[in-house]
Amino acid sequence: MTPEHDGRPMRERMLAGDLYIADDPELAEQSLRAMDLTEAFNATPARDPLARRHLLTELLGAVGEGTEIRPPLRVDYGGHIRVGARSFANFGLVALDCAPITIGDDVQIGTNVQLLTPTHPVDPELRRAKWEAAEPITIGDNVWLGSGVIVLAGVTIGENTVVGAGAVVTRDLPANAVAVGNPARVIRTIEPSTP
């Protein structure tokens, strides 16, 4: 059976991690809504944190208390992104949320980080026909993603892990580790300190 004959709405297929067509009218409308909100968010003056927070909570699926995301921000839909409490994302976050993106509490995200859930078929005919898929990304509590980190679809990063600037995370990373490089690899473990 070809993907187009299964009858499910494209949004349902997308969130299930199955092949879908992104220019479906429902998805296109949700994407336009996200673009409108990100444009407004990105244009909000730094001296108006209440307006910025209001737009962020309207755009994203959840935003924890004390969390700050500095513009510019780019998302596909916004509503599939959940950010915990006291997290911080510096300038230039790109979070393509065709699948859920979950960011824990106390996460630090450097400049120009990319969280990329979309994937595309290797089969050239499916790709030419504009089919794509997506896999979720999960960032654990107290993770630090250095500037320029790219996290690919389907990746989970364990709590307290540090990912060095410019790393490309292609596979899951354990908790309490330092990872660097392309592809990112663990170079040491972190022993949590006791107060």
Dihedral sign for Cα 117, 110, 173, 85, please: negative
pLDDT for the residue 192: 74
Catalytic residue list contains 80: no
Cβ pair 94, 110 in contact under 8 A: no
Among 5, 54, 80, 120, the one annotated catalytic: 120
pLDDT for the residue 183: 98
Q: Are strands 114-116 and 177-180 parallel, antiparallel or unpaired?
A: unpaired
Residue closest to 9 by CA, chosen among 32, 28, 34: 28
pLDDT < 70 stretches in the chain: 1-5
Cβ pair 98, 118 in contact under 8 A: yes
Structure-derived torsion over alpha carbons of residues 75, 78, 84, 87, reported in degrees to the nearest 10: 30
Entry field: residues in the chain: 195
pLDDT for the residue 1: 44
Instruction: Please tell me whether the overall predicted TM-score, pTM, comes out greater than 0.75 for this model.
Output: yes
Q: Could you tell me where the beta strands, DSSP code E, fall in the chain?
A: 20-21, 62-63, 68-69, 73-75, 81-83, 88-89, 93-96, 101-103, 108-109, 114-116, 118-119, 131-134, 137-139, 144-145, 150-151, 156-157, 162-163, 168-169, 177-180, 185-189
